[in-house]
Amino acid sequence: MHNPPHPGEVLREWLAEISVTEAARRLGVTRVALSRILNGAAGVSADMDLRFSKALNTTPGSWYGMQADYDLWQARRHFRARVRPIVTEARK
């Protein structure tokens, strides 16, 4: 996937009709915690994924999967480590 969005960007569209304060109350989290996700300053945890899936009637794991896609894309962009193979020729 090319440049996947942070799940907070997608979530912002889902919550367009409700205030951040009200959405946080319904999710059982602080306004600050939800705001950090919406602004891309924090990622979606497994716990938060389950909250979103229940509150928004989405598939469990979908928000967490979006976060994983975003994180992996970011890691690939910035990866510069020098890594040597561990697996020997006989194990391939």
For residue 92, being part of any structural domain is answered with: no
Instruction: Compute the distance between CA of residue 72 and CA of residue 89 in angstroms, rounded to an integer.
Output: 28
Rounded to 10 degrees, the C-alpha dihedral 77/81/86/92 comes to: 30
* pLDDT digits 0-9 by tens, 19-65: 999 999 999 999 999 999 999 999 999 999 999 999 999 999 999 99
* pLDDT digits 0-9 by tens, 4-13: 999 999 999 9
Instruction: Compute the distance between CA of residue 58 and CA of residue 52 in angstroms, rounded to an integer.
Output: 7
For residue 41, being part of any structural domain is answered with: yes
For residue 87, being part of any structural domain is answered with: no
Report if pTM > 0.85: yes
For residue 24, being part of any structural domain is answered with: yes
